[in-house]
Structure 1
Amino acid sequence: MTLRQDLLAVLQDAEEPLTVDRLAAATGRPATTVRFHLDRLLRDDAIVAAPVGGPGPGRPRLAYTAHGRMDPTGARDFDLLAQALAAALADDPDGPRKATAAGAVLGADRADPAADPLDDLLDVLMEAGFSPAVSGGDRIRLRRCPFLEAARAHPAVTCAVHRGLMQGVLDAPRTGTTGGAGWQLAALEAFVDGDHCVARVRRPAHRAELRAP
């Protein structure tokens, strides 16, 4: 386990709040290191801290207690969830449409209303792990798929989510002068040459080419 998990386990087993010194002794780690990880646990809302001792000079001593709820620090396997949901939708005749609609909601939520729609699309794809690269004006090569296993097993559903995500970004309302109206995802070609995907966008006549991220 990591030190953060060790600290949380010690606090969950403790019958009373514990100070940094006691936690350092319990884990065999320096107090400064323990304090750093306790601050992270506090930010994650996994533990609570309360002052102990009477008033005096300097910063008050704190004692820590674990919340009595699920550990938020553990490993997550989002790909397992993606494969399960893709498999469920693959058995639904209306699955691809539902997947596209869900992706569009995600895209609209991730969009930056102050950004140019195409620049915004590249930023969202980069943050989502697609490693996009502009290729040939309106072509975007997607050099990674963050849900590769699910996409290979259920491409109709997984790619539908991705199409919806991209169109959702393009359709998002814009507060600037560039506007997003008219931009369309013309196609999403999966596993071109077996190693990447290609998104093609249809641009208004007045618009210049995409910029590289």
Structure 2
Amino acid sequence: MTSDSAIGAVAALDDELRRGMYRFIRVAGRPVTRDEAAEHVGISRKLAAFHLDKLIDAGLLQARYEQVGGVRRVGRAPKVYEPTEIEVNVSIPERRHEVLAEILMGAILGATKGETARDTAARVATDRGTALGEATRDHLRPGRLGAERALTLLSSVLGEQGFEPTRTAPGCVRLRNCPFHPLAAQAPDLVCALNHAYLSGLLTGLQATTVSAVLAPHPGECCVELRRAT
């Protein structure tokens, strides 16, 4: 779920009736009908339909038509609702601790003989960034990337990742936010090295040879800066 989608989901739950129905449906452990949801919060079936549709639009619920209760009724089966499997996390500024956790878990599971834990983690971070770059390139098919075009594309990709990229000078993009804070503040040598490996892998996957990822720590910002390669 993107940051915008997560904010939309939280906004949908700002209404007390929707929160009540959503909680009821989550703990029910079975498909819930519109009548049951309406009765639980004490509103009409029509008003419940409106709020349930809002929860579906927010990605929190899914619906289908199904006979319930073991009794087959004449006519169309009633509409039933279940929670989706999405997890909603909202952080401002945006944090992506799950990326760091997956890199470290991959390092534990993928360690090879003669390789230090730090080297394994750096390799996994590079591979993850490379995979993201390759997937982006396969999707967009940008062709050969000059420096300015590469920086524009990278700004879009990293903006979605919560890095808050900003053009600070010709041929240079600063990443104003560290998605791995405050862990980066606790172990800067480790986390910044993994971040640098991740972003370097992204450049490799994108085939953006005209841009380099450079360690250039600034207080309160990401430790990596993207620059036109020299």
Would you say same fold, with TM above 0.5?
Answer: yes
2:175: which partner in 1? 142
How far has the Cα of 1:144 moved from its partner?
Answer: 1.0
How far has the Cα of 1:50 moved from its partner?
Answer: 1.5
1:23: which partner in 2? 37
1:195: which partner in 2? 220
SS of the residue aligned with 1:124?
helix
Q: 1:33 aligns with which of 39, 50, 64?
A: 50
Instruction: Report if the CA contact (8 A) 1:102-1:161 is conserved.
Output: no
Match for 1:99: what amino acid? A
Q: Distance in 2 between matches of 1:105 and 1:61?
A: 44
Q: Distance in 2 between matches of 1:15 and 1:104?
A: 40
Q: 2:123 aligns with which of 97, 100, 103?
A: 97
Structure ranking higher in helix proportion = 2
Q: How many residues align?
A: 187
User: Which stretches in structure 1 are left out of the alignment for 5+ residues?
Assistant: 174-179, 205-213
Q: 2:80 aligns with which of 58, 64, 70?
A: 64
Q: Distance in 1 between matches of 2:100 and 2:229?
A: 33
- Pairwise CA RMSD: 3.9
Q: Quick one: percent identity of the two aligned structures?
A: 24
Instruction: Report if the CA contact (8 A) 2:174-2:225 is conserved.
Output: yes
The normalised TM-score by structure 2 is 0.60
User: Which stretches in structure 2 are left out of the alignment for 5+ residues?
Assistant: 1-9, 68-72, 109-115, 144-148
Instruction: Report if the CA contact (8 A) 1:143-1:196 is conserved.
Output: yes
Q: Deviations over 1:123-144 (max 9, x none)?
A: 1111111111112222211111
In structure 2, relative to structure 1, the CA distance for the partners of 1:107 and 1:6 (3 Å cut) is: farther
Please say if 1:182 is aligned against 2:209.
Answer: yes
